[in-house]
Chains A and B, each alone.
Chain A
Amino acid sequence: MNSSLNHLKRQAITATMVNKEGHLPSAFSILDIVWTIYDRVLRYDAQNPKSDDRDRFILSKGHGSLALYTVLAEKGFFPASELNQYCTLKSRLGGHPDHNKVPGIEASTGSLGHGLPFGVGVAMALRIRKVDRRVFVVVGDGECNEGSVWEAALLAAHHQLSNLTCIVDYNHSTDRALNMGDMAAKFSAFGWAATTINGHDHAAIESALRTRDPQKPTAIIAETIKGHGVKQMENNPAWHHRCPSKEEMETMFQDLT
Protein backbone atom coordinates (compact mmCIF):
# COMPACT_ATOMS: atom_id res chain seq x y z
CA MET A 1 0.00 0.00 0.00
CA ASN A 2 2.78 2.42 0.79
CA SER A 3 4.11 4.38 -2.10
CA SER A 4 7.52 4.13 -3.65
CA LEU A 5 8.07 7.76 -4.42
CA ASN A 6 11.21 7.84 -2.35
CA HIS A 7 13.29 9.29 -5.18
CA LEU A 8 10.98 12.29 -5.35
CA LYS A 9 11.17 12.76 -1.60
CA ARG A 10 14.96 12.63 -1.78
CA GLN A 11 14.88 15.32 -4.50
CA ALA A 12 12.69 17.52 -2.34
CA ILE A 13 14.84 17.03 0.76
CA THR A 14 17.96 17.83 -1.23
CA ALA A 15 16.40 21.00 -2.60
CA THR A 16 15.55 22.23 0.89
CA MET A 17 18.90 21.18 2.33
CA VAL A 18 20.79 23.08 -0.38
CA ASN A 19 18.68 26.23 -0.40
CA LYS A 20 17.38 26.32 3.17
CA GLU A 21 13.76 26.88 2.32
CA GLY A 22 10.63 24.79 1.99
CA HIS A 23 7.72 23.05 3.71
CA LEU A 24 8.73 19.39 3.42
CA PRO A 25 6.11 17.73 5.66
CA SER A 26 3.29 19.49 3.83
CA ALA A 27 4.69 18.25 0.53
CA PHE A 28 5.08 14.67 1.73
CA SER A 29 1.52 14.74 3.03
CA ILE A 30 0.19 15.19 -0.52
CA LEU A 31 2.87 13.59 -2.66
CA ASP A 32 0.98 10.33 -3.15
CA ILE A 33 -2.15 12.27 -4.10
CA VAL A 34 -0.40 14.57 -6.57
CA TRP A 35 1.55 11.66 -8.06
CA THR A 36 -1.56 9.54 -8.55
CA ILE A 37 -3.40 12.43 -10.16
CA TYR A 38 -0.63 13.00 -12.71
CA ASP A 39 0.33 9.37 -13.19
CA ARG A 40 -3.07 7.81 -13.55
CA VAL A 41 -5.93 10.26 -14.00
CA LEU A 42 -5.05 13.74 -15.25
CA ARG A 43 -5.08 14.35 -18.98
CA TYR A 44 -2.16 16.59 -19.96
CA ASP A 45 0.64 17.11 -22.45
CA ALA A 46 3.86 18.15 -20.74
CA GLN A 47 5.17 19.52 -24.04
CA ASN A 48 2.03 21.58 -24.55
CA PRO A 49 0.95 22.41 -21.01
CA LYS A 50 -1.63 25.02 -22.07
CA SER A 51 -3.50 22.67 -24.40
CA ASP A 52 -7.23 23.28 -24.03
CA ASP A 53 -7.73 19.51 -24.02
CA ARG A 54 -6.12 19.16 -20.60
CA ASP A 55 -7.57 18.53 -17.19
CA ARG A 56 -6.74 21.31 -14.74
CA PHE A 57 -4.91 20.68 -11.47
CA ILE A 58 -4.76 23.42 -8.84
CA LEU A 59 -2.61 23.13 -5.75
CA SER A 60 -4.44 25.46 -3.41
CA LYS A 61 -2.18 24.69 -0.44
CA GLY A 62 0.71 26.23 -2.32
CA HIS A 63 3.23 25.63 0.46
CA GLY A 64 3.20 21.98 -0.61
CA SER A 65 4.82 23.11 -3.86
CA LEU A 66 7.72 20.66 -3.62
CA ALA A 67 5.30 17.79 -4.15
CA LEU A 68 4.00 19.39 -7.30
CA TYR A 69 7.42 20.48 -8.58
CA THR A 70 8.95 17.02 -8.17
CA VAL A 71 5.99 15.39 -9.93
CA LEU A 72 5.98 17.96 -12.75
CA ALA A 73 9.72 17.46 -13.26
CA GLU A 74 9.32 13.68 -13.24
CA LYS A 75 6.57 14.00 -15.84
CA GLY A 76 8.67 16.18 -18.12
CA PHE A 77 7.28 19.70 -17.61
CA PHE A 78 10.76 21.02 -16.80
CA PRO A 79 14.18 19.48 -16.05
CA ALA A 80 14.58 17.91 -12.62
CA SER A 81 17.91 19.72 -12.34
CA GLU A 82 15.94 22.92 -11.72
CA LEU A 83 14.82 21.57 -8.38
CA ASN A 84 18.20 22.40 -6.92
CA GLN A 85 17.61 26.07 -7.69
CA TYR A 86 14.37 25.95 -5.65
CA CYS A 87 13.68 29.32 -4.00
CA THR A 88 16.89 30.95 -5.23
CA LEU A 89 16.69 34.51 -6.58
CA LYS A 90 16.18 33.79 -10.28
CA SER A 91 14.58 30.38 -10.00
CA ARG A 92 11.18 29.70 -11.56
CA LEU A 93 10.42 27.50 -8.59
CA GLY A 94 9.37 29.55 -5.57
CA GLY A 95 8.15 28.53 -2.16
CA HIS A 96 4.67 28.87 -3.60
CA PRO A 97 3.90 28.14 -7.25
CA ASP A 98 3.55 30.89 -9.88
CA HIS A 99 1.54 30.07 -12.99
CA ASN A 100 3.24 32.84 -14.94
CA LYS A 101 6.62 31.15 -14.46
CA VAL A 102 6.29 27.40 -14.21
CA PRO A 103 4.94 25.20 -17.03
CA GLY A 104 2.03 23.12 -15.79
CA ILE A 105 1.06 25.37 -12.89
CA GLU A 106 -2.57 26.46 -13.27
CA ALA A 107 -2.84 28.93 -10.40
CA SER A 108 -0.49 31.04 -8.32
CA THR A 109 -1.32 30.15 -4.75
CA GLY A 110 0.11 30.71 -1.30
CA SER A 111 -2.41 32.64 0.69
CA LEU A 112 -4.89 29.98 1.75
CA GLY A 113 -8.50 29.73 0.68
CA HIS A 114 -7.98 30.95 -2.87
CA GLY A 115 -7.59 27.78 -4.92
CA LEU A 116 -11.08 26.33 -4.52
CA PRO A 117 -12.98 29.51 -5.48
CA PHE A 118 -10.57 29.87 -8.41
CA GLY A 119 -11.22 26.25 -9.33
CA VAL A 120 -14.97 26.84 -9.19
CA GLY A 121 -14.46 29.59 -11.76
CA VAL A 122 -12.34 27.36 -13.96
CA ALA A 123 -14.92 24.56 -13.75
CA MET A 124 -17.71 27.00 -14.54
CA ALA A 125 -15.75 28.40 -17.47
CA LEU A 126 -15.17 24.93 -18.92
CA ARG A 127 -18.90 24.30 -18.75
CA ILE A 128 -19.71 27.64 -20.37
CA ARG A 129 -17.15 26.93 -23.09
CA LYS A 130 -18.45 23.36 -23.47
CA VAL A 131 -15.00 21.89 -22.82
CA ASP A 132 -15.49 18.44 -21.29
CA ARG A 133 -12.49 18.37 -19.00
CA ARG A 134 -12.14 18.03 -15.24
CA VAL A 135 -10.74 20.29 -12.53
CA PHE A 136 -8.90 18.92 -9.49
CA VAL A 137 -8.09 21.10 -6.49
CA VAL A 138 -6.00 20.04 -3.49
CA VAL A 139 -6.70 21.97 -0.30
CA GLY A 140 -5.25 21.55 3.17
CA ASP A 141 -7.27 20.83 6.30
CA GLY A 142 -5.99 24.00 7.95
CA GLU A 143 -6.90 25.86 4.80
CA CYS A 144 -10.47 24.70 5.36
CA ASN A 145 -10.58 27.07 8.34
CA GLU A 146 -11.00 29.80 5.71
CA GLY A 147 -14.57 30.89 5.02
CA SER A 148 -13.86 31.32 1.33
CA VAL A 149 -13.45 27.53 1.03
CA TRP A 150 -16.99 27.04 2.21
CA GLU A 151 -18.32 29.86 0.07
CA ALA A 152 -16.81 28.01 -2.87
CA ALA A 153 -18.24 24.72 -1.64
CA LEU A 154 -21.72 26.26 -1.62
CA LEU A 155 -21.25 27.67 -5.11
CA ALA A 156 -19.92 24.44 -6.62
CA ALA A 157 -22.85 22.44 -5.27
CA HIS A 158 -25.47 25.04 -6.20
CA HIS A 159 -24.20 25.20 -9.75
CA GLN A 160 -23.82 21.42 -9.96
CA LEU A 161 -20.18 21.54 -11.04
CA SER A 162 -19.75 17.82 -11.46
CA ASN A 163 -16.49 18.45 -13.33
CA LEU A 164 -14.88 19.67 -10.10
CA THR A 165 -13.11 17.43 -7.57
CA CYS A 166 -11.67 18.78 -4.33
CA ILE A 167 -9.15 16.64 -2.47
CA VAL A 168 -8.74 17.59 1.19
CA ASP A 169 -5.31 16.76 2.59
CA TYR A 170 -6.56 15.80 6.03
CA ASN A 171 -3.30 15.44 7.94
CA HIS A 172 -4.89 16.87 11.07
CA SER A 173 -2.28 19.60 11.47
CA THR A 174 -5.13 22.00 12.19
CA ASP A 175 -6.53 19.94 15.07
CA ARG A 176 -4.45 21.89 17.58
CA ALA A 177 -6.05 25.16 16.44
CA LEU A 178 -9.47 24.47 15.03
CA ASN A 179 -10.67 20.90 14.82
CA MET A 180 -12.45 20.35 11.51
CA GLY A 181 -14.19 17.16 12.63
CA ASP A 182 -15.94 15.00 10.06
CA MET A 183 -14.94 16.65 6.81
CA ALA A 184 -16.85 14.21 4.61
CA ALA A 185 -20.03 14.99 6.53
CA LYS A 186 -19.36 18.71 6.16
CA PHE A 187 -18.90 18.50 2.38
CA SER A 188 -21.92 16.20 2.10
CA ALA A 189 -23.98 18.73 4.02
CA PHE A 190 -22.83 21.37 1.55
CA GLY A 191 -24.17 19.24 -1.32
CA TRP A 192 -21.08 17.42 -2.49
CA ALA A 193 -20.53 13.73 -3.14
CA ALA A 194 -17.97 13.02 -0.45
CA THR A 195 -15.81 10.05 0.41
CA THR A 196 -12.94 9.39 2.79
CA ILE A 197 -9.85 7.41 1.77
CA ASN A 198 -6.31 6.63 2.85
CA GLY A 199 -4.39 9.42 1.17
CA HIS A 200 -1.25 7.34 0.77
CA ASP A 201 -2.92 4.38 -0.97
CA HIS A 202 -2.51 4.91 -4.70
CA ALA A 203 -5.21 2.44 -5.67
CA ALA A 204 -7.71 4.06 -3.31
CA ILE A 205 -6.75 7.54 -4.52
CA GLU A 206 -7.13 6.50 -8.15
CA SER A 207 -10.49 4.86 -7.55
CA ALA A 208 -11.82 7.93 -5.75
CA LEU A 209 -10.50 10.27 -8.44
CA ARG A 210 -12.17 8.26 -11.20
CA THR A 211 -15.53 8.32 -9.45
CA ARG A 212 -17.65 11.17 -10.67
CA ASP A 213 -21.18 12.04 -9.63
CA PRO A 214 -23.36 13.07 -12.59
CA GLN A 215 -24.56 16.22 -10.82
CA LYS A 216 -22.54 16.95 -7.72
CA PRO A 217 -18.96 18.08 -7.26
CA THR A 218 -16.80 15.46 -5.59
CA ALA A 219 -14.91 15.84 -2.31
CA ILE A 220 -12.24 13.30 -1.47
CA ILE A 221 -11.19 13.48 2.15
CA ALA A 222 -7.69 12.02 2.12
CA GLU A 223 -6.50 10.90 5.54
CA THR A 224 -2.79 11.62 5.42
CA ILE A 225 0.31 11.81 7.56
CA LYS A 226 2.19 15.09 7.53
CA GLY A 227 5.81 14.32 6.67
CA HIS A 228 4.83 10.87 5.43
CA GLY A 229 7.75 8.49 4.94
CA VAL A 230 10.35 10.28 7.06
CA LYS A 231 10.15 9.08 10.65
CA GLN A 232 11.51 12.14 12.44
CA MET A 233 9.27 14.40 10.39
CA GLU A 234 5.98 12.51 10.61
CA ASN A 235 3.39 14.50 12.59
CA ASN A 236 6.17 16.57 14.14
CA PRO A 237 5.20 20.28 14.06
CA ALA A 238 8.83 21.30 14.57
CA TRP A 239 9.53 20.31 10.96
CA HIS A 240 6.70 22.32 9.38
CA HIS A 241 9.02 24.97 7.96
CA ARG A 242 12.41 23.59 8.88
CA CYS A 243 15.16 22.54 6.51
CA PRO A 244 17.50 19.66 7.20
CA SER A 245 21.24 19.89 7.63
CA LYS A 246 23.39 17.58 5.50
CA GLU A 247 23.64 15.13 8.39
CA GLU A 248 19.89 15.16 8.96
CA MET A 249 19.37 14.65 5.26
CA GLU A 250 21.52 11.52 5.33
CA THR A 251 19.46 10.18 8.22
CA MET A 252 16.25 10.91 6.34
CA PHE A 253 17.56 9.16 3.27
CA GLN A 254 17.90 5.97 5.33
CA ASP A 255 14.10 6.01 5.65
CA LEU A 256 13.78 6.47 1.92
CA THR A 257 15.75 3.60 0.45
Chain B
Amino acid sequence: MRKQFIRTTEEVMAKDERLVVLLGDIGVFGFRNAFQQFPQRIYNIGICEQAMTGMAAGLSKEGLVPVVHSIAPFVVERCLEQLKVDFCYQKLGGNIVSVGGSYDYAALGCTHHCPGDVALLKALPGLEIVVPGTPQEYDQLFRASYANGRLTYFRLSERSNPQSFDVEFGRAKIIQQGKRATVVAVGTALAPTLAATQDLDVTVLYYTTVTPFDGDTLKQHSASGKIILVEPFYTGTLAADIHAAMGSTAVAIETIGVPHRFLTNYGHAEEHDEAIGLTAANIRQRVQGFIHG
Protein backbone atom coordinates (compact mmCIF):
# COMPACT_ATOMS: atom_id res chain seq x y z
CA MET B 1 0.00 0.00 0.00
CA ARG B 2 2.90 2.37 0.66
CA LYS B 3 3.97 2.25 -2.99
CA GLN B 4 0.41 2.95 -4.06
CA PHE B 5 0.22 5.83 -1.59
CA ILE B 6 3.21 7.42 -3.33
CA ARG B 7 1.85 6.72 -6.82
CA THR B 8 -1.58 8.10 -6.01
CA THR B 9 -0.20 11.15 -4.23
CA GLU B 10 2.12 12.04 -7.11
CA GLU B 11 -0.67 11.68 -9.64
CA VAL B 12 -3.05 13.83 -7.62
CA MET B 13 -0.31 16.41 -6.99
CA ALA B 14 0.14 16.74 -10.74
CA LYS B 15 -3.54 17.51 -11.21
CA ASP B 16 -4.37 19.44 -8.06
CA GLU B 17 -2.07 22.31 -7.13
CA ARG B 18 -3.62 22.52 -3.67
CA LEU B 19 -2.13 19.22 -2.51
CA VAL B 20 0.83 19.64 -0.12
CA VAL B 21 2.66 16.66 1.43
CA LEU B 22 4.32 16.74 4.85
CA LEU B 23 6.46 13.71 5.73
CA GLY B 24 7.55 12.83 9.24
CA ASP B 25 10.98 11.79 8.00
CA ILE B 26 9.68 8.55 6.50
CA GLY B 27 8.95 7.72 2.86
CA VAL B 28 11.35 10.43 1.73
CA PHE B 29 13.24 8.25 -0.74
CA GLY B 30 9.98 6.89 -2.12
CA PHE B 31 8.80 10.41 -2.85
CA ARG B 32 12.06 11.44 -4.57
CA ASN B 33 10.25 12.18 -7.85
CA ALA B 34 7.75 14.42 -6.11
CA PHE B 35 10.57 16.31 -4.41
CA GLN B 36 11.98 17.02 -7.86
CA GLN B 37 8.72 17.81 -9.56
CA PHE B 38 6.94 19.76 -6.81
CA PRO B 39 9.59 21.22 -4.49
CA GLN B 40 7.17 23.83 -3.18
CA ARG B 41 4.54 21.23 -2.25
CA ILE B 42 6.37 18.43 -0.47
CA TYR B 43 8.45 18.75 2.68
CA ASN B 44 10.34 16.38 4.92
CA ILE B 45 9.28 18.06 8.13
CA GLY B 46 11.44 15.98 10.43
CA ILE B 47 10.48 14.29 13.65
CA CYS B 48 8.08 16.76 15.18
CA GLU B 49 4.59 15.41 14.65
CA GLN B 50 2.81 17.93 16.86
CA ALA B 51 4.08 20.92 14.91
CA MET B 52 3.70 19.04 11.63
CA THR B 53 0.02 18.49 12.36
CA GLY B 54 -0.59 22.08 13.46
CA MET B 55 1.30 23.30 10.42
CA ALA B 56 -0.86 21.12 8.18
CA ALA B 57 -3.96 22.72 9.69
CA GLY B 58 -2.49 26.14 8.92
CA LEU B 59 -1.97 25.09 5.30
CA SER B 60 -5.59 23.94 5.21
CA LYS B 61 -6.81 27.23 6.64
CA GLU B 62 -5.28 28.92 3.61
CA GLY B 63 -7.07 26.69 1.13
CA LEU B 64 -4.42 24.04 0.54
CA VAL B 65 -5.04 20.30 0.98
CA PRO B 66 -2.44 18.75 3.28
CA VAL B 67 -1.38 15.11 3.37
CA VAL B 68 0.50 14.22 6.55
CA HIS B 69 2.38 10.94 6.65
CA SER B 70 4.18 8.91 9.29
CA ILE B 71 3.89 5.69 11.27
CA ALA B 72 0.51 5.29 12.96
CA PRO B 73 1.42 5.92 16.64
CA PHE B 74 3.25 9.10 15.73
CA VAL B 75 0.53 10.71 13.61
CA VAL B 76 -2.29 9.63 15.92
CA GLU B 77 -1.24 9.22 19.53
CA ARG B 78 1.64 11.72 19.61
CA CYS B 79 -0.49 14.55 18.25
CA LEU B 80 -4.05 13.64 19.16
CA GLU B 81 -4.78 17.11 20.53
CA GLN B 82 -3.54 18.76 17.32
CA LEU B 83 -5.95 16.58 15.37
CA LYS B 84 -8.75 17.51 17.75
CA VAL B 85 -8.15 21.25 18.07
CA ASP B 86 -6.30 22.30 14.94
CA PHE B 87 -8.37 20.26 12.50
CA CYS B 88 -11.63 18.92 13.91
CA TYR B 89 -12.68 21.77 16.21
CA GLN B 90 -11.73 24.31 13.58
CA LYS B 91 -13.55 22.32 10.86
CA LEU B 92 -10.51 22.21 8.60
CA GLY B 93 -10.00 19.50 6.00
CA GLY B 94 -6.93 17.40 5.37
CA ASN B 95 -5.54 13.92 5.19
CA ILE B 96 -3.55 11.84 7.64
CA VAL B 97 -2.02 8.77 6.01
CA SER B 98 -0.47 6.31 8.43
CA VAL B 99 1.44 3.11 7.92
CA GLY B 100 2.14 0.30 10.31
CA GLY B 101 -1.38 -0.26 11.53
CA SER B 102 -1.81 -2.45 14.54
CA TYR B 103 1.40 -4.47 14.66
CA ASP B 104 2.79 -4.49 11.15
CA TYR B 105 6.13 -3.57 12.71
CA ALA B 106 5.86 -6.37 15.24
CA ALA B 107 9.59 -6.74 15.69
CA LEU B 108 9.98 -3.09 16.68
CA GLY B 109 7.90 -3.50 19.81
CA CYS B 110 4.90 -1.75 21.31
CA THR B 111 6.16 1.81 20.76
CA HIS B 112 5.58 1.16 17.08
CA HIS B 113 2.27 -0.66 17.43
CA CYS B 114 -1.01 1.20 17.14
CA PRO B 115 -4.10 -1.01 17.44
CA GLY B 116 -5.87 1.85 19.24
CA ASP B 117 -5.79 4.39 16.43
CA VAL B 118 -9.35 3.88 15.20
CA ALA B 119 -10.84 3.85 18.70
CA LEU B 120 -9.00 7.06 19.59
CA LEU B 121 -9.87 8.85 16.40
CA LYS B 122 -13.53 7.88 16.63
CA ALA B 123 -13.62 10.16 19.68
CA LEU B 124 -12.94 13.22 17.49
CA PRO B 125 -16.17 14.64 16.02
CA GLY B 126 -16.10 15.11 12.27
CA LEU B 127 -13.06 12.96 11.55
CA GLU B 128 -13.40 10.30 8.86
CA ILE B 129 -11.63 6.96 9.03
CA VAL B 130 -10.74 4.86 5.99
CA VAL B 131 -9.26 1.37 6.24
CA PRO B 132 -8.47 0.08 2.75
CA GLY B 133 -7.71 -3.59 2.23
CA THR B 134 -5.60 -3.28 -0.91
CA PRO B 135 -3.54 -0.66 -2.76
CA GLN B 136 -6.19 -0.31 -5.46
CA GLU B 137 -8.88 0.30 -2.86
CA TYR B 138 -6.71 2.97 -1.23
CA ASP B 139 -6.36 4.70 -4.58
CA GLN B 140 -10.13 4.73 -5.11
CA LEU B 141 -10.92 5.90 -1.60
CA PHE B 142 -8.27 8.62 -1.47
CA ARG B 143 -9.33 10.14 -4.78
CA ALA B 144 -12.96 10.10 -3.65
CA SER B 145 -12.41 11.89 -0.38
CA TYR B 146 -9.08 13.72 -0.14
CA ALA B 147 -10.50 17.17 -0.81
CA ASN B 148 -13.94 16.86 0.77
CA GLY B 149 -13.29 19.53 3.38
CA ARG B 150 -13.04 17.15 6.31
CA LEU B 151 -10.11 15.51 8.05
CA THR B 152 -9.73 11.95 6.78
CA TYR B 153 -7.49 9.30 8.32
CA PHE B 154 -6.23 6.63 5.94
CA ARG B 155 -5.00 3.57 7.78
CA LEU B 156 -2.53 1.82 5.51
CA SER B 157 -1.06 -1.58 6.17
CA GLU B 158 2.10 -3.33 5.05
CA ARG B 159 -0.22 -6.23 4.27
CA SER B 160 -2.93 -6.50 1.69
CA ASN B 161 -5.93 -8.66 0.83
CA PRO B 162 -5.40 -10.93 -2.23
CA GLN B 163 -8.41 -9.47 -4.04
CA SER B 164 -9.54 -5.87 -4.54
CA PHE B 165 -13.17 -4.84 -4.60
CA ASP B 166 -14.84 -1.88 -6.23
CA VAL B 167 -15.32 0.05 -3.01
CA GLU B 168 -17.11 3.32 -2.43
CA PHE B 169 -16.25 5.90 0.21
CA GLY B 170 -18.77 5.77 3.04
CA ARG B 171 -20.44 2.56 1.87
CA ALA B 172 -20.08 -1.05 2.91
CA LYS B 173 -19.61 -3.65 0.16
CA ILE B 174 -21.80 -6.74 0.16
CA ILE B 175 -19.40 -9.60 -0.52
CA GLN B 176 -21.73 -12.55 0.02
CA GLN B 177 -25.23 -13.11 1.34
CA GLY B 178 -26.46 -15.77 3.74
CA LYS B 179 -29.09 -16.35 6.41
CA ARG B 180 -27.40 -17.51 9.62
CA ALA B 181 -25.39 -14.45 10.57
CA THR B 182 -23.76 -11.29 9.26
CA VAL B 183 -20.01 -10.90 9.35
CA VAL B 184 -18.68 -7.36 9.31
CA ALA B 185 -15.06 -7.45 8.09
CA VAL B 186 -12.88 -4.36 8.14
CA GLY B 187 -9.95 -3.64 5.81
CA THR B 188 -7.26 -6.32 5.86
CA ALA B 189 -9.39 -8.51 8.12
CA LEU B 190 -11.40 -9.43 5.03
CA ALA B 191 -8.82 -11.95 3.78
CA PRO B 192 -8.99 -14.36 6.74
CA THR B 193 -12.72 -13.70 7.04
CA LEU B 194 -13.44 -14.80 3.47
CA ALA B 195 -11.18 -17.80 3.80
CA ALA B 196 -13.20 -18.75 6.87
CA THR B 197 -16.72 -18.13 5.64
CA GLN B 198 -16.91 -18.72 1.89
CA ASP B 199 -18.85 -21.99 2.29
CA LEU B 200 -20.91 -20.85 5.27
CA ASP B 201 -24.48 -19.55 5.07
CA VAL B 202 -23.56 -16.07 6.28
CA THR B 203 -23.61 -12.56 4.89
CA VAL B 204 -20.24 -10.84 4.64
CA LEU B 205 -20.16 -7.05 4.61
CA TYR B 206 -16.83 -5.39 3.83
CA TYR B 207 -16.13 -2.02 5.43
CA THR B 208 -13.33 0.18 4.10
CA THR B 209 -14.84 3.34 5.54
CA VAL B 210 -15.58 2.92 9.24
CA THR B 211 -16.39 6.55 10.03
CA PRO B 212 -18.92 7.56 8.86
CA PHE B 213 -20.27 4.08 9.50
CA ASP B 214 -22.67 2.72 6.89
CA GLY B 215 -25.42 1.64 9.26
CA ASP B 216 -28.05 1.37 6.52
CA THR B 217 -26.33 -1.49 4.72
CA LEU B 218 -25.86 -3.34 7.99
CA LYS B 219 -29.45 -2.86 9.05
CA GLN B 220 -30.70 -4.12 5.69
CA HIS B 221 -28.49 -7.23 5.79
CA SER B 222 -28.72 -8.46 9.34
CA ALA B 223 -32.11 -10.16 9.61
CA SER B 224 -30.55 -13.03 11.58
CA GLY B 225 -29.91 -10.73 14.54
CA LYS B 226 -26.41 -12.21 14.81
CA ILE B 227 -23.46 -10.02 13.91
CA ILE B 228 -19.80 -10.98 14.00
CA LEU B 229 -17.37 -8.10 13.88
CA VAL B 230 -13.85 -8.86 12.57
CA GLU B 231 -11.52 -5.90 13.05
CA PRO B 232 -7.77 -5.53 12.41
CA PHE B 233 -7.54 -3.14 15.40
CA TYR B 234 -8.77 -3.27 19.02
CA THR B 235 -11.64 -5.70 19.18
CA GLY B 236 -15.08 -4.20 19.56
CA THR B 237 -14.06 -0.75 18.34
CA LEU B 238 -17.10 -0.59 16.07
CA ALA B 239 -19.55 -2.25 18.47
CA ALA B 240 -21.18 1.08 19.36
CA ASP B 241 -21.67 1.85 15.66
CA ILE B 242 -23.41 -1.51 15.24
CA HIS B 243 -25.68 -0.83 18.19
CA ALA B 244 -26.49 2.62 16.83
CA ALA B 245 -27.25 1.19 13.38
CA MET B 246 -29.55 -1.51 14.75
CA GLY B 247 -31.49 0.86 16.97
CA SER B 248 -34.05 -0.97 19.06
CA THR B 249 -33.66 -4.22 17.06
CA ALA B 250 -32.35 -6.98 19.29
CA VAL B 251 -28.94 -8.15 18.15
CA ALA B 252 -26.20 -10.44 19.41
CA ILE B 253 -22.64 -9.34 18.65
CA GLU B 254 -19.46 -11.39 18.62
CA THR B 255 -16.17 -9.55 18.22
CA ILE B 256 -12.87 -10.80 16.84
CA GLY B 257 -9.88 -8.52 16.74
CA VAL B 258 -6.82 -7.32 18.61
CA PRO B 259 -7.13 -7.84 22.38
CA HIS B 260 -6.82 -4.77 24.59
CA ARG B 261 -3.35 -5.43 25.96
CA PHE B 262 0.24 -4.70 24.96
CA LEU B 263 1.54 -7.36 22.58
CA THR B 264 5.03 -7.52 24.01
CA ASN B 265 6.41 -10.27 21.81
CA TYR B 266 8.37 -9.46 18.64
CA GLY B 267 8.57 -11.63 15.54
CA HIS B 268 6.32 -11.10 12.51
CA ALA B 269 2.80 -9.74 12.19
CA GLU B 270 1.56 -13.12 11.00
CA GLU B 271 2.80 -14.67 14.22
CA HIS B 272 0.79 -12.14 16.20
CA ASP B 273 -2.25 -12.99 14.05
CA GLU B 274 -1.82 -16.60 15.13
CA ALA B 275 -1.34 -15.70 18.75
CA ILE B 276 -4.47 -13.55 19.02
CA GLY B 277 -6.70 -15.55 16.69
CA LEU B 278 -6.97 -13.25 13.69
CA THR B 279 -6.73 -16.28 11.43
CA ALA B 280 -9.13 -18.01 9.07
CA ALA B 281 -9.24 -21.11 11.26
CA ASN B 282 -10.12 -19.22 14.43
CA ILE B 283 -12.61 -16.94 12.70
CA ARG B 284 -14.33 -20.00 11.19
CA GLN B 285 -14.50 -21.70 14.56
CA ARG B 286 -15.87 -18.59 16.25
CA VAL B 287 -18.45 -17.96 13.50
CA GLN B 288 -19.66 -21.56 13.56
CA GLY B 289 -19.87 -21.50 17.33
CA PHE B 290 -21.82 -18.26 17.24
CA ILE B 291 -24.26 -19.53 14.62
CA HIS B 292 -24.96 -22.70 16.53
CA GLY B 293 -24.75 -21.16 19.97
Residues of A within 8 A of B (CB): 99-100, 106-111, 113-114, 116-129, 147-148, 151-152, 154-155, 158-159
Which residues does chain A contribute within 8 Å of B280, judged by CB atoms? none
Q: Given contacts A107-B90, A120-B54, could you give 4 more A-B pairs where the C-beta distance is less than 8 Å?
A: A99-B90, A147-B50, A148-B51, A159-B43
Q: Are A108 and B90 in contact (CB under 8 A)?
A: yes
Q: Are B85 and A114 in contact (CB under 8 A)?
A: yes
Contact of B61 among A106, A111, A158 (CB under 8 A): A106
Which residues does chain A contribute within 8 Å of B54, judged by CB atoms? 114, 116-118, 120-121, 148, 152
Contact of A124 among B53, B59, B82 (CB under 8 A): B59
A126 and B61 CA atoms in complex are apart in Å by: 10
For the complex formed, measure the closest distance between the CB of A191 and the CB atoms of chain B, giving whole angstroms.
14
A103 and B40 CA atoms in complex are apart in Å by: 31
> Could you say which of B43, B55, B91 has the most chain A C-beta atoms within 10 Å of its C-beta?
B55
The interface on chain B, measured as residues whose beta carbon lies within 8 A of the other chain's beta carbons, has a size of 30
Which residues does chain B contribute within 8 Å of A155, judged by CB atoms? 45-46, 48, 51, 55
Bitwise, B80-91 to A at CB < 8 A (1) or not (0) is: 011001100111
- Given A100-B90, A147-B50, A148-B50, residue A108 in contact with residue B61 (CB < 8 A): no
- Please report whether the interface of chain B is mostly helix, strand, loop or mixed according to DSSP: helix
> Could you say which of A120, A123, A124 has the most chain B C-beta atoms within 10 Å of its C-beta?
A124
Q: Are A128 and B51 in contact (CB under 8 A)?
A: no
The reply to whether the CB of B278 lies closer than 8 angstroms to some CB of chain A is: no
A159 and B59 CA atoms in complex are apart in Å by: 14
Name the residue on A nearest B84 (C-beta): A111
Which residues does chain A contribute within 8 Å of B85, judged by CB atoms? 108-111, 114
Interface pairs (28), CB distance under 8 Å: A108-B85, A108-B90, A111-B85, A114-B54, A114-B81, A116-B51, A116-B54, A117-B51, A117-B52, A117-B58, A118-B54, A118-B55, A118-B86, A119-B58, A120-B55, A121-B60, A121-B61, A122-B59, A122-B61, A123-B58, A124-B59, A128-B40, A147-B50, A148-B48, A151-B51, A152-B54, A155-B45, A155-B51
Contact of A114 among B48, B86, B91 (CB under 8 A): B86
For the complex formed, measure the closest distance between the CB of B20 and the CB atoms of chain A, giving whole angstroms.
7
Q: Are B61 and A125 in contact (CB under 8 A)?
A: yes
Q: Are B20 and A128 in contact (CB under 8 A)?
A: yes
Residues of B within 8 A of A (CB): 20, 40-41, 43, 45-46, 48, 50-64, 66, 81-82, 85-86, 89-91
A23 and B53 CA atoms in complex are apart in Å by: 28
- Given A114-B85, A120-B58, residue A128 in contact with residue B50 (CB < 8 A): no
Name the residue on A nearest B45 (C-beta): A155
A-B residue pair count with CB separations less than 8 angstroms: 99
Q: Are B61 and A118 in contact (CB under 8 A)?
A: yes
> Could you say which of B40, B59, B63 has the most chain A C-beta atoms within 10 Å of its C-beta?
B59
The 7 A-B residue pairs with the shortest CB-CB distance, nearest first, are A121-B58, A117-B54, A125-B62, A151-B51, A121-B55, A151-B48, A117-B51
A111 and B91 CA atoms in complex are apart in Å by: 16
A221 and B81 CA atoms in complex are apart in Å by: 27
A122 and B57 CA atoms in complex are apart in Å by: 8
A184 and B50 CA atoms in complex are apart in Å by: 23
Q: Are A154 and B48 in contact (CB under 8 A)?
A: yes
Which residues does chain B contribute within 8 Å of A117, judged by CB atoms? 50-55, 58, 82, 86
A108 and B89 CA atoms in complex are apart in Å by: 8
A129 and B62 CA atoms in complex are apart in Å by: 9
Which residues does chain B contribute within 8 Å of A147, judged by CB atoms? 50
A232 and B124 CA atoms in complex are apart in Å by: 42
Which residues does chain A contribute within 8 Å of B53, judged by CB atoms? 117
Q: Are B62 and A120 in contact (CB under 8 A)?
A: no
Contact of A111 among B58, B62, B81 (CB under 8 A): B81
For the complex formed, measure the closest distance between the CB of A109 and the CB atoms of chain B, giving whole angstroms.
8
A116 and B53 CA atoms in complex are apart in Å by: 12
For the complex formed, measure the closest distance between the CB of B132 and the CB atoms of chain A, giving whole angstroms.
27
For the complex formed, measure the closest distance between the CB of B48 and the CB atoms of chain A, giving whole angstroms.
4
Name the residue on B nearest A122 (C-beta): B58
For the complex formed, measure the closest distance between the CB of B88 and the CB atoms of chain A, giving whole angstroms.
10
Q: Are A124 and B90 in contact (CB under 8 A)?
A: no
For the complex formed, measure the closest distance between the CB of A155 and the CB atoms of chain B, giving whole angstroms.
6
Contact of A121 among B40, B59, B91 (CB under 8 A): B59
For the complex formed, measure the closest distance between the CB of B35 and the CB atoms of chain A, giving whole angstroms.
14
